[in-house]
Structure 1
Amino acid sequence: MELRVIKTDEQHRRYLEEARRLAKGDPAPESDDGARLELLAKLIDDYERERFKFRKPDPIEAILFRMEEQGLRQADIAAIVGGKNRASEILSRKRPLTLSMVRALHEKLGIPSELLIREPAAEYRVRTRAGKRTR
């Protein structure tokens, strides 16, 4: 079978089966089977990267995920961001994270800072207009 760019789930399934079959034979990289397996792996990887894209979490989703993962409560976050009220406002998307909060959350919870500095989800955006905050 001639290899082409994968466009359907069925084609993806067939290529996976063939790649598994070839891999079981452990072909030498310079052999025809080795070259075919390498090409199949590239085509499969390209298809899966495009087909199964995952959206990165927004800052609040990242915090909530880490809280669940580590069994933390809002009080634990309060100790990091400066108080219960502030933690509540952040987790309910009423207050944006400051740079010092981003640093503290990154250092204490290990949340990647690039996730914490991302634009929040559409339901919460702080904009200033004539000195007033709007949601």
Structure 2
Amino acid sequence: MTLIFNSDIYSQLLSYYQPRIIKTEEENEKFLEIVEELLARPNLSPEEDALLELLVKLIEDFEGNHYQLNASTPHSRLLHLMEAKGIEAKDLVGILGSIEIVTQVMSGELEITQEQAEGLGEFFHVEPSLFIYN
């Protein structure tokens, strides 16, 4: 089944949440709360998914510019998303391949492949690039 993107619903979400370039820590915290709220929902609509991707990108840009010393990594992003969604290692076996691989990825011993990143992106409703080192 193909879900259809409804521009009117997306416009309503944009109007309600008012995403914009993040300039302050307070704005960053506000958008982080919205991301966590969206991640807590069991099934996002295509419009909510698009809003989530936009917010994650805005947060990533702000944090990349303001927290260079503690820059997030694909590993830390995965752990954050897992914690926010209440996901356990066993829940990622189907995406990453085995519990051993999941454990190595979670510990930072193993980098995430492009194929795994795409699976994680779909699973968490975020851009796969979040899980790849640039």
Q: TM-score range by the shorter chain?
A: 0.3 to 0.5
Name the structure where helix makes up a greater proportion of residues: 2
Name the structure where strand makes up a greater proportion of residues: 1
- The higher radius of gyration belongs to 1
TM-score (norm 1): 0.46
